[in-house]
């Protein structure tokens, strides 16, 4: 009689804690994550003429439109900063947040056919969206850095050491989009109308965030709305660090960090609960 024990390579359990995140398993499927990143990047641009150049075209055109609409027509203040870098700063980080949130919110519906055929940690899918968005953000960020370098060389803006907070700001934005996206994704498995509501709501949310205007432009009686927005500290810190002007309170990042941690916690719980039986409602 052999005493050798058979070693299993995979163990699929029917029940798991709502609070659990198996980081070891996620790391084991890192090749799948890389494959999904490659798929998202290649399939989206392989049939376009300009390819990744669209990463540059979109923020440039949007910035020019904002210069005309908000700078020339609406006459909104930019805190005496040049309009192009001011609007480009907001657009660069807003695009990453908005794209990540919208795509993460539909992860169950978009990948139902895959989820129903093969097992892998479902959290891989929203994570792949967050990391895939970083590729686009990285390209647009290089464009923004080039603009900042030009305007700082001509002494029109004065970057400071707050730019060292950039990794934290990106992490907070990614966490915010991931947490909120997982909540919406879990809810849309049963209430599909929420996907349309989110697409409309995120446009309104942009105007509650200092993307195209500084906080100083907001009337005092409505200032609390912007201050309560967890994204405000991120945008103001980013703009203050790279452009050297703005209304930035370091304490706002503490508030944002706490908010993102709670949101991620709720998002993971909701996602873990829904993933067990979402195929029955898709």
Kindly report, residue by residue over 94-103, the tens digit of the pLDDT: 999 999 999 8
Q: Provide CB contacts within 8 A for 245, sequence distance 6+.
A: 79, 80, 81, 157, 158, 239
What SS3 state is found at 279? Answer: helix
Confirm whether 16 is domain-assigned. no
Average pLDDT over residues 141-146: 93
Contact yes or no for 91/120 (Cβ under 8 A): no
| Residue 273 domain boundaries | 26-44+67-280
Confidence class for position 236, pLDDT limits 50, 70, 90: very high
Confirm whether 151 is domain-assigned. yes
What domain count does the chain have?
1
Confirm whether 4 is domain-assigned. no
Average pLDDT over residues 184-209: 82
Contact yes or no for 190/138 (Cβ under 8 A): no
Q: Provide CB contacts within 8 A for 41, sequence distance 6+.
A: 132, 135
Alpha-carbon gap, residue 125 to 21, rounded angstroms: 14
Confirm whether 2 is domain-assigned. no
pLDDT at 279 over 60: no
The mean pLDDT of the chain is 81
Alpha-carbon gap, residue 263 to 269, rounded angstroms: 10
Alpha-carbon gap, residue 146 to 123, rounded angstroms: 35
pLDDT at 89 over 90: yes
Confirm whether 199 is domain-assigned. yes
> What pLDDT, on the 0 to 100 scale, is given for residue 1?
47
pLDDT at 3 over 70: no
């Amino acid at each position: 009689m052999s005493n050798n024990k058979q070693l299993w390579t995979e163990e699929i359990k029917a029940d798991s804690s709502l609070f659990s995140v198996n980081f070891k398993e996620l790391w084991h499927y890192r090749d799948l994550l890389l494959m999904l990143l490659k798929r998202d990047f290649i399939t989206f641009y392989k049939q376009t003429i300009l390819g990744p150049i669209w990463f540059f075209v979109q923020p440039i055109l949007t910035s020019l439109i904002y210069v005309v609409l908000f700078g020339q027509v609406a006459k909104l203040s930019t805190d005496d900063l040049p309009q192009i870098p001011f609007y480009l700063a907001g657009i660069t980080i807003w695009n990453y947040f908005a794209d990540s949130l919208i795509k993460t919110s539909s992860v169950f519906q978009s990948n139902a056919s895959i989820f129903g055929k093969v097992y892998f940690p479902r959290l891989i899918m929203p994570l792949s969206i967050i990391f895939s968005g970083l590729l686009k953000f990285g390209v647009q960020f290089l464009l923004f850095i080039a603009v900042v370098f030009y305007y700082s060389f001509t002494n029109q803006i004065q970057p400071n050491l707050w730019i060292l907070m950039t990794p934290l700001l990106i992490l907070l934005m990614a966490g915010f989009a991931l947490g909120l996206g997982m909540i919406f994704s879990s809810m849309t498995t049963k209430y599909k109308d929420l996907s349309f509501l989110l697409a409309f709501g995120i446009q309104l949310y942009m105007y509650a965030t200092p993307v195209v205007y500084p906080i100083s432009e907001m009337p005092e009686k409505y200032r609390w709305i912007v201050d309560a927005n967890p994204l405000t500290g991120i945008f103001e810190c980013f703009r203050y660090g790279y452009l050297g002007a703005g209304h930035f309170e370091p304490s706002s990042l503490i508030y944002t960090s706490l908010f993102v941690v709670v949101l991620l916690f709720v998002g993971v719980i909701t996602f873990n609960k829904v993933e067990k039986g979402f195929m029955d409602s898709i």
